[in-house]
Amino acid sequence: MEVIKINDFNHHTLSESNIIRRILSGEKELFEILLRRNNQKLYRVIRGYLTDAAEIEDIMQNTHLKAYEKLYQFKHNASYSTWLIRIGINEALARLKTKSKLYHLNTPQQLNSNSILEQPDTTQLNPESRIIRQETQQLLENAIDKLDSKYKTVYILKEVEGMTIKDIAICLDISTANTKVRLHRAKHMLKDKLFEVTTNVDIFQFGFSKCDQLTAQTMAIILKN
């Protein structure tokens, strides 16, 4: 059997089906590959429902652990990320239900004072370009934050993560037609001046340090058992 070292966990040539098969065969340390490949996407999805940093990471960890526990139920007719996102959305909705209140968006001022966004590396930009980029990112994030969560989630999955309408529909358990309607309404509700930056993948970053920390915590729980 091929041996994979810890340092090889970011090796992108390993197929998803092979990783899952080997995890189910007992190589549970390989689950770290799935963690790292999906942390950013999962973060952005959960961020569409909640804004508190600690709460988001708690739900992310619960989602990964639940996915690990139920991995034997995974069907390969869809991607692992689609299946994982579905679990994450259910976890977020369950948390909101437990709190017995509707999801309330923070104002831009509240978001700025308690930022959960890890800024991308802008060291190669001159000061003026760096400021413009940061302000543009914040402007877009504030606009997206004002969307209702059902529109926000569709928008992030399609315009930021580049997922297909079909996969988004599976994640949200809605029809493709409904998915298209939500995406159209989300775009319509955003300011026209923001359309130029809708492909900016720097928004809602779950940076390397946060990814490492969450991955280490989750794997510690998995390997302990």
Tokens of 218: 């989750």
The answer to whether 224 touches 29, Cβ cutoff 8 Å, is no
For residue 144, which of 52, 45, 54 has the smallest C-alpha distance? 45
pLDDT in tens, the chain (225 residues): 444 444 555 556 788 999 999 999 999 999 999 999 999 999 999 988 888 889 999 999 999 999 999 999 998 888 999 999 999 999 999 888 876 444 343 434 333 433 323 444 444 555 555 565 666 677 778 788 888 888 999 999 998 889 999 999 999 999 999 999 999 999 888 765 465 554 555 667 777 778 888 999 999 999 887
Rounded Cα–Cα distance for residues 49 and 63 (Å):
14
Q: Is the dihedral of CA 9, 160, 48, 150 positive or negative?
A: negative
Number of domains in the chain: 1
Q: Which amino acid is at 175?
A: S
In terms of phi and psi (left: phi > 0; alpha: psi -120 to 50; beta: otherwise), the region of 204 is: left
What is the pLDDT, as a whole number, of residue 194? Answer: 61
Q: Is residue 26 part of a domain?
A: yes
Rounded Cα–Cα distance for residues 121 and 183 (Å):
29
Between the alpha carbon of residue 165 and those of residues 57, 58, 122, 170, 171, the distances in Å are 26, 28, 32, 9, 10
Between the alpha carbon of residue 117 and those of residues 18, 44, 141, 159, the distances in Å are 33, 10, 10, 18
Q: Is residue 117 part of a domain?
A: yes
Q: Is residue 213 part of a domain?
A: yes
What is the pLDDT, as a whole number, of residue 138? Answer: 73
Q: Is residue 1 part of a domain?
A: no
What is the pLDDT, as a whole number, of residue 105? Answer: 37
In this structure, the dihedral spanned by the alpha carbons of residues 9, 10, 15 and 17, taken in order and rounded to 10 degrees, is 50
Place of tokens 């995890």: 23
- Residue 61's domain spans which residues? 6-224
β strands within 169-208, DSSP E = none
Q: Is residue 138 part of a domain?
A: yes
Q: Please work out, in degrees rounded to the nearest 5, the angle formed at the alpha carbon of residue 161 by the alpha carbons of 208 and 139.
A: 80
What is the pLDDT, as a whole number, of residue 106? Answer: 40
The 3-class secondary structure across 17-82, one letter per residue, is: HHHHHHHHCCCHHHHHHHHHHHHHHHHHHHHCCCCCHHHHHHHHHHHHHHHHHCHHHCCCCCCHHH
CATH number of the domain to which 215 belongs: 1.10.1740.10
